[in-house]
Amino acid sequence: MIDHGQPVMLARLLPWLELAVKVGVIVAGVFAIFQYLDIRKEARIEKTLSFVTMFNDATTPVGQARDRITEVLWLNEKQLSKLQRAINTLPPSEAALLRQRFIRGLIEGPDGESGLRKHLNDVIAFFESLSICTKHGLCDRRSAEAFFSEYAADFWRNFEQFVSDRRKWASDYGAGIEAFAETDAKGSR
């Protein structure tokens, strides 16, 4: 006995099976895209964390520069506090000039050569690399901002004049650290 209902039933199921296969392919494709994007984001975060490691490692040039700048600022903490109190009583133009002279003394050092100039350049070069990495999507911008914007803002407050002086010869000098400093200023509002 031959059941002639089977081919009819199969003919009815075939469009539904084709639809299920198409939906499955679409769902798999969407899932693959999300996995790909997630893997790319993880890679950007990993690259950003390599910058964090480099920045915090006292054996790297930028780590040594960061440590030396911090050390000099701490060694001069009393003078900086005294200067800040004096600045608060002066007109803005005089206050800015007094602060610039003090910071310039830290940059040049007592002998005009042993100061922070090389260390400042190392930190600025680091931030230029980090900025390029984030601009081109190789590093994760949000992670980089979370890790570095506060340091950049502190650096900028102390050494903006140093950067401005260099911009007379290289107009984009320090643009990376300035961008991260501005990010911190926006976040603290």
**Overall number of domains in the chain:** 1
Residue 91 placed within a domain: yes
Residue 13 located in a structural domain: no
Q: What torsion do the CA atoms of 77, 82, 87, 89 make, to the nearest 10 degrees?
A: 150
Would you say residue 96 lies in a domain? Answer: yes
């990495």: which residue's tokens? 133
Residue 3 has a pLDDT of 55
Q: Which domain range does residue 80 map to?
A: 45-187
* Mean pLDDT per 10-residue interval, the chain, length 189 residues: 60 76 74 66 87 95 94 86 79 79 82 80 96 93 94 92 90 94 67
In a domain, 161, yes or no: yes
Contact 108, 156 (CB under 8 A): no
CB atoms within 10 A of CB 132: 12
Give this prediction's pTM: 0.73
What is the model's pLDDT at position 140? 93
Q: Tell me whether residue 97 is in a domain.
A: yes
Residue 49 domain-assigned (yes or no): yes
Cα(161)–Cα(176) distance, integer angstroms: 15
Residue 11 included in any domain: no
**Amino acid 188: pLDDT:** 47
Q: Is residue 98 part of a domain?
A: yes
